[in-house]
Amino acid sequence: MGAAWKHFKTITHHKYLVAKGCFRIGLYRQGLLHDMSKYSPAEFSVGVKYYQGTRSPNNAEREDRGYSSAWLHHKGRNKHHFEYWQDYCLQGEKGLLAPVPMPDRYIAEMIMDRIAASKVYKGADYTDAAPLEYYRMGREHPSIHPDTQAVLERLLTMLAEEGEQKTFACIRRELVKGGSGHGRSIKEK
């Protein structure tokens, strides 16, 4: 089986898992439209070239070229990535990019994305702790707003400790239905 078909199957399976999670929490449109840019030539061709099946092809491209053109394309078009949510500072060090809080519904989609990616790449070794473990591997994220980071860490920890059912109910209740729209609806208790 060729790399193009394998990559297509991988991204489609990932997209299916994200949609399934998004539907469970009430984000139907986001579930359907999630990661459509992965099928664009700018991302798909790189995915085929660097396909490995056990991790993101973007990492292999990054190792080969020093950056990932597919990732740069992807993060600029998909609001469920915290890297999308950056803007120029008007205070402090003006002109520098700084993170801004993500809207709650995109935090919810980001969590579904992390769960799905962990399920795809870990396969039978997946546990509800896997998304938190992956997040902690790259924990120093200066480009994530502290409010967004607090919500993300709290919910990934809840997933690891209490499972999908309780976590998805919390996400649906506090981010999707009762969300403030700016990433600050869930506070530390």
Q: Is the residue at 143 inside a domain?
A: yes
For residue 97, give Cα distances in angstroms to 72, 75, 76, 94.
15, 15, 14, 8
* pTM, rounded to two decimals: 0.89
CB neighbour list of residue 5: distance below 8 Å, 6 or more residues apart = none
Cα(39)–Cα(45) distance, integer angstroms: 9
Q: Is the residue at 147 inside a domain?
A: yes
Q: Is the residue at 145 inside a domain?
A: yes
Average per-residue pLDDT in the chain? Answer: 91
Q: Yes or no: say if 96 and 88 are a contact pair by the CB < 8 Å rule.
A: yes
Instruction: Give the start-end residues of each E strand in the chain.
Output: 86-88, 97-99
Domain count, the chain: 1
Lowest mean pLDDT: which of 2-6, 79-83, 175-179, 181-185?
181-185
Question: Which band of pLDDT confidence, cut at 50, 70 and 90, is reported for residue 188?
Answer: very low
Q: Is 62 exposed, middle or buried (CB count within 10 Å of its CB: 0-12, 13-18, 19+)?
A: middle
Give the tokens for residue 11: 């991204």
Q: Which residue has the higher pLDDT, 34 or 98?
A: 34
pLDDT at position 142: 74
CB neighbour list of residue 105: distance below 8 Å, 6 or more residues apart = 27, 30, 175, 176, 179, 181
Q: Is the residue at 186 inside a domain?
A: no
Angle between helices 104-122 and 130-137 (to 10 degrees): 100
Q: Is the residue at 98 inside a domain?
A: yes
Q: Is the residue at 183 inside a domain?
A: no
Residue 128 is part of which domain span? 83-177
Q: Is the residue at 10 inside a domain?
A: no
Q: Yes or no: say if 52 and 64 are a contact pair by the CB < 8 Å rule.
A: no
Kindly state the average pLDDT of the residues 62-74: 96
Torsion from C-alpha of 22, 27, 28, 31, nearest 10 degrees: -40
